[in-house]
Structure 1
């Protein structure tokens, strides 16, 4: 080995290694040194969360195995300074010039080298104010001050009134920095760890070398979710604990590096975080040569999206801002909100009207985005300007911590929930879940609806159902019944047990896996009136043996992932055939959009037949002209869901 010196301009790169001592397709030995090292890198809290969500036998995957230390040592010997170690990607990042890059590519253990994308940081407008007004009602146990409006839109005060404040939940916040030790609303927050991924230390507030406004944005975001100052500002989940990551370098106007985000997620996950929230989306780039395109917003291309999805696979609820691109030429969602499981959050005003700046969906592959919305216009928050400064701010950066706060309240109320259940409940209980669209997704998020939505717990192959009721005049605890049916007609009532606090629980009788179960609840309020939930003679539904409960959303059909076929032929010239499956006769629509997201053809809109359906496209657009050569996306909308695939037209 020899030392590489350089005086040329350097850029940041991912250096990917070929293996981890074993390859990705080799089975893991639980007793191997590698496996044990991966386990030792996780906190007890992280292991517990993984066991709950992944199962005890699957908590370590190839991605978790440590990077070969002798590979890193060889790079250091060559004079390479390692910036971030990205275990999940078997990669490190470092600054290289072209000569260093070329030499590294000759090393036998290097798989490839790719540039780290650099993004433009867009901060929201903060409107300072010195006049604080109490807006909460006399019925509230907490004096919310000017934070009442944005919290009340998502029914958060009603949940706080039950004593649910996020206690027991760890939230990780990725942002520009946090002046939390020097603001009255944050100084008492339970911050259990923090790290600066720019300067590689534990200082997340401004320090020597930072821009003066470096920690402003993160302070605003943190206060919306975790602040607490009586009569002034209350955070959505003020009882939670927090892990803070300073990931965005604001010394340059265009210097937000995606590897810091990925490194922060890996770090947070290892510490046992339950929820991560980031209000900085990645879409506009410092160098157009290395830019992503809307076609890359497909849930599987950007590093930040891949990192968020890997965190989700490990049981973390991942939440991200949809972006503020609604008034720009980009218009669409930004990474990592394009992730398959990451909850993208859009913004509305206090009247639940979409903010014009809020990025729209769908993802490039046709999935509904954003998932939910919360207030992101005139949100009251702390300001880093001084110890007791506050202001109003606009942006999906503000709606996102509200949504993350709701997720924390839900998980705090029902700590047995898996992250897949949390995601399903937040979407199911949003106010537009029966007719989702590409502007507000499934709609306005509601803490009250989410926490009162029935949910399942599995213990040793036995299932329990949990239910919390919100009733202003109270519930007679001995009157609550769980009514279930396996044929949709004949219902069996079963008494539920009150836990002495707020929750009713009962064991579900042993049924056959896959059996559809219809459910409703009945009880008497404190004045003797009979009540039913859901109240409109509909039912909740679930498949026995599965954990998700449905009401407005459709229960997935068995061939969910094969419902839409790849067109044939593909590529095509004159015509192509698209096949899809339907479980019953139901409304459906197939549209075709081009590479920039513009609809060019409505190919089918009507009732399907039960079973296999097919349609044909001859390349003619709705406006009459023949479509030009290129990549197109065809999207099937059916059963409240969307499915999409790409096809290529060659002229």
Structure 2
């Protein structure tokens, strides 16, 4: 089954609108110290622990909006508050141009920025103030029986992490999308339900707690990470936990969607989420053309959503975003939040690792390499709302496939920061030494990423693992020699050798490909582990 998407865009003259979208920015948070003194008033303990483990301090952006300011704007004539952001200290509002401009007289208002760029008359740099957007939903030891989904995992050598029990356990992924119908009923999500891996969610569009509704796009996206149906579909992070947030209004094309995305990202941060994955992109073809972005906006600092994504990264979260599906269009470049500097932007390749023609390209407007990495997005295997397994196209799917594998890698290296994990993924990619704006740094090799840290200055290490010919053991200089025994999965001893600092290498060339177990014994130091022979 191939799933296709069609979006109807209504071209309506701006003269028909009496209401405008805008952002009102505040100039203070007078009660900030109260929150700094009691940080659990604004962040969960898991969020605080994530900050602490990465040496990230609290700052002004963590403090909630001043309630009295919000209430005064809400009570202003003709103003409707659509969304809010503590990170950017702003409200997304809707009203007439006259009523919105009247807010500038309030002493706590720093500035007002209209979604329609032509209405912004300011001496400040335009690139800092343009927040226009368009909705462009991107259509788009374990040995699992991956079935038809094998290629999209094995292309990344993700199965190697799964074989070592790195399946996303202990990591939390927030999915920001258009809806998740069927996740509460369809069979491929039963494992998530039975193990309480759906931690919650929210529909920011309708402002209610029912997130098992909306467009099915999010359901397909989630299936590439958390789906589980033997011999047909295994997601890249089947043991991760998930929050599901609806930020995409499929019924209209409104600037507020960027603001809802940022609001959801802030909640993900508060809850202690590790990874945000989003298969939404914002560039052109908006219902009201005056709200459209242009390529010059794709600089990582102009778009509201991209600024929010960058702040999310500063909080210790890894943000993974689809590059976009505009590669065959006149304007081929990545949109927002894919243009953000620290976002891991994912393009799409075919099953044979050739860039899909629809995959948006770089660079960002300021010349940075984008996309960052690639994964399968052509004929990606997904599950629909009824539990049927089929294929669909789009960077919508290469993105979560990548996000799930990142969760597995981070599980393997829980002490690493988000910056370090991001670097490990990129540095493992097959075009790392010669990136370009079609493939970015290329297709990551998560097996290599798993071994990229050689455990320098640690007492014990085994690398590379997986290995083709030789494995090296490193251990304390206080130990003279050691005994290493390797066993098959059936418990048969296949290697028994003594090693020393002068010759710490163990040949595995004679072993068949597969999983093995080792024991390491030396002067009271006893270690056990797994070896993958390629």
Instruction: Give the equivalent residue in structure 2 for 1:184.
Output: 187
Instruction: Compare relative contact order (CA 8 Å, sep 6+) and give the higher one, 1 or 2.
Output: 2
- Cα root mean square deviation, aligned: 3.1
Q: Distance in 1 between matches of 2:310 and 2:89?
A: 16
Residue-by-residue CA offset, 1:112-159 (whole Å, 9 max, x unaligned): 22235341334425xxxxxxxxxxxxx972111211121111111222
C-alpha distance in 1 between matches for 2:449 and 2:63: 36
- 1:262 match: 262
- Residue 18 of structure 2 is matched in structure 1 by 9
1:482, 1:495 within 8 Å by CA — same for their partners in 2?
no
Could you give the per-residue CA deviations for residues 396-418 of structure 1, whole angstroms, max 9, x where no partner exists? Answer: 11100111111101101111110
Shift of 1:469: 3.9
User: Do structure 1's residue 251 and structure 2's residue 251 form an aligned pair?
Assistant: yes
8 Å Cα contact 1:455/1:465 also seen in 2 = no
* Residues 168 and 464 of structure 1, relative CA distance in 2, 3 Å threshold: farther
Provide structure 1 residue ranges, at least 5 long, that are not aligned to the other structure: 1-6, 23-27, 126-138, 207-213, 485-491, 502-520, 530-651
Instruction: Give the CA deviation at 1:349.
Output: 0.4
Q: Is the 8 A contact 1:347 1:395 kept in 2?
A: yes
Match for residue 164 of structure 1?
166
Cα gap change, 1:250 to 1:431, in 2 (>3 Å): same
Cα deviation for residue 34 of structure 1 reads: 3.7
Aligned to 1:121: 136
Deviations 1:72-123 (CA, angstroms, capped at 9, x unpaired): 1212333644332200111112221223213222222122222353413344
Partner of 1:362: 363
**1:319/1:404 contact within 8 Å kept:** yes
Query: Residue in 2 aligned with 1:240?
Result: 240
- The answer as to whether partners of 1:410 and 1:447 remain within 8 angstroms in 2 is yes
Query: Which digits, 9 at most, give the CA deviation of each residue in 1:337-381, with x for residues without a partner?
Result: 111111111110011111111111111111111110001100110
Contact 2:468 2:508 in 1 (8 A): yes
Deviation at 1:315, TM superposition (A): 0.6
CA distance in 2 between partners of 1:278 and 1:496 (Å)? 48
For 1:245, what is the secondary structure of its paired residue? strand
SS in 1 for 2:112: strand
* Partner Cα distance (1:303, 1:253) in 2: 16
For the residue of structure 1 that corresponds to 2:91, the secondary structure is strand
For 1:400 and 1:144, the matched residues in 2 are separated by: 19
CA deviation string 1:141-200 (max 9, x = no partner): 211121112111111122211111010101111100112112111133111120111011
1:215 is matched with: 215
Using the TM superposition, give the Cα deviation of residue 253 of structure 1 relative to its aligned residue in structure 2, in angstroms.
Answer: 5.9
TM-score, L = length of structure 1: 0.65
Contact kept in structure 2, 1:355 and 1:376, CA below 8 Å: yes
How far apart, CA to CA, are the structure 2 residues paired with 1:483 and 1:434? 33
Q: Which residue of 2 aligns with 1:480?
A: 473
Cα drift, residue 255 of structure 1: 7.1
Partner of 2:122: none
Counterpart of 2:54 in 1: which secondary structure?
helix
2:72 aligned residue: 74
Whether the aligned pair in 1 keeps the contact of 2:138 and 2:325 (CA below 8 Å) is no
What corresponds to 1:377 in structure 2? 378
Q: Distance in 2 between matches of 1:316 and 1:338?
A: 17
Which residue of the partner structure matches residue 515 of structure 2? none
Q: Distance in 2 between matches of 1:522 and 1:326?
A: 50
State the TM-score, normalizing by the size of structure 2.
0.79
- State the alpha-carbon separation in 2 of the partners of residues 437 and 8 from structure 1: 43
- Asked if 1 retains the 8 angstrom alpha-carbon contact of 2:454 and 2:463, the reply is no
User: Are the structure 2 counterparts of residues 219 and 481 from structure 1 closer, same or farther at C-alpha, using a change threshold of 3 Å?
Assistant: same
Classify 1:254/1:324 alpha carbon distance in 2 versus 1 (closer, same or farther; 3 Å): farther
1:204 to 202, 207, 211: 211
How far the C-alpha of 1:16 sits from its partner, in A, is: 0.9
Do 1:481 and 1:494's aligned partners in 2 also have CA atoms closer than 8 Å?
A: no
Q: 1:470 aligned to 445, 453, 465, which one?
A: 465
Structure 2 residue aligned with 1:297: 298
- Provide Cα deviations, 1:513-549, integer angstroms capped at 9, x if missing partner: xxxxxxxx963035789xxxxxxxxxxxxxxxxxxxx
Q: Deviations over 1:414-461 (max 9, x none)?
A: 11110010011000001111111111111102221211211669xxxx
What SS does structure 1 have at the residue aligned with 2:187?
Answer: coil
The SS at the match of 2:210 is coil
CA gap 1:109/1:240 in 2 versus in 1, 3 angstroms: same
CA spacing shift, 1:191–1:197, aligned 2, 3 Å: same
Quote how far apart the aligned CAs of 1:497 are. Answer: 12
| SS of 2:189 mapped into structure 1 | coil
Give aligned pairs, total: 458
- Distance, in Å, in 1 between the alignment partners of 2:247 and 2:97 is 26
Q: Which residue of 2 aligns with 1:272?
A: 272
1: CA distance, partners of 2:173 / 2:251: 27
Superimposed CA distance per residue, residues 220-239 of structure 1 (whole angstroms, 9 cap, x where no aligned partner) = 10000111112221000111
Equivalence for 1:323: 324
Greater shift after overlay, 114-123 or 173-182? 114-123
Q: 1:483 and 1:373, CA in 2 relative to 1: closer, same or farther beyond 3 A? A: farther
2:108 aligned with 1:109: yes
2: CA distance, partners of 1:253 / 1:85: 18
Report the CA distance shift for 1:464/1:216 in structure 2 as closer, same or farther (over 3 A): farther
Shift of 1:8: 7.8
The equivalent residue for 2:156 is 154
Which structure has greater helix proportion?
A: 2
Give, in whole Å, the separation in 2 of the partners of 1:261 and 1:272: 17
With over 3 angstroms needed to count, the CA separation of the structure-2 counterparts of 1:72 and 1:82, relative to structure 1, is: same
Cα distance change of structure 1 residues 380 and 92 upon mapping to structure 2, 3 Å threshold? same
1:19 aligned partner: 28
**1:231 aligns to what SS in structure 2?**
coil
Structure 1: distance between partners of 2:392 and 2:48: 38
Q: Could you tell me how far apart the structure 2 residues matched to 1:298 and 1:468 are? A: 40
- How far does residue 252 in structure 1 lie from its aligned partner after superposition? 2.5
| Alignment pair present for 1:143 and 2:145 | yes
3-state SS in 1 of match to 2:21: strand
In the TM superposition, residue 62 of structure 1 has moved relative to its aligned partner by 1.1
